[in-house]
A and B are shown apart, each in its own frame.
Chain A
């Protein structure tokens, strides 16, 4: 399975989880939907930044002292 396929397969459960996790604490369905969409975007950016940072650090470390 390619990395692109894996990333695409990762998205539906991620979005569904964000939408339903926004339900408790929301006064209406509209508020829950808005919160869910906002959180999806926010957390996707957080994920991308975290994974990107880990990837860059790993590349830097590998360039200095290859592990394999």
Chain B
């Protein structure tokens, strides 16, 4: 089995390459970056307010619930939880904000719902990845429609 650091570097590399490929297309760049920063904002920026809300509400509720269940200690990509950090990367905005806000906290004891909290935040972030894929499809559709009408 490969060492944990190899898996971490490979997965971070994969995320970076995927993000670079997505933002290489100027038609997708702005909504994609907005969607990573705030779940649902990318959809709203292309005029899909309903879809944006449908992404933002479940993802943010799940993310905040995860933080509460884990006593605000589950987001720590470079210190306590490098493996969870990989899963939390697709919601980079909330993850960065939570990490900066909670990096001074220490893990004295693991509560009953701690792992559930980690799982909630991980799922919320991965759901944002699904939303980003949907966003990319929508952007391409809009661009194709523009090309056809031009």
Contacts and interface: CB of A to CB of B under 8 A. Distances in A.
Interface in A29-56: 29-30, 32-33, 36
B54 A19 contact: yes
Nearest to A36: B54
A28 B123 contact: no
Place the interface of chain B in its size category.
20 to 34
A13 interface: yes
B65 A23 contact: no
Contact of A17 (B113, B116, B123): B123
Interface string A1-25: 1000000010011011101110110
Given A16-B58, A29-B48, A24 B130 contact: yes
- The SS class assigned to the A binding surface is helix
B133 A24 contact: yes
Contacts of B51: 23, 28-29, 32
Given A1-B112, A16-B124, A23-B131, A32 B54 contact: yes
Given A16-B62, A20-B55, A30-B50, A9 B113 contact: yes
Nearest to B53: A29
B148 to A, nearest CB: 18
Interface residues of A, number: 18
Contact of A23 (B55, B61, B69): B55
A13 B123 contact: yes
A13 B62 contact: yes
18 contacts: A1-B112, A9-B69, A9-B113, A12-B62, A12-B65, A12-B120, A16-B59, A17-B127, A19-B54, A19-B58, A21-B130, A23-B51, A23-B54, A23-B130, A23-B131, A28-B50, A33-B50, A33-B54
A-B pairs with the 4 shortest C-beta distances?
A29-B50, A16-B58, A29-B51, A23-B134
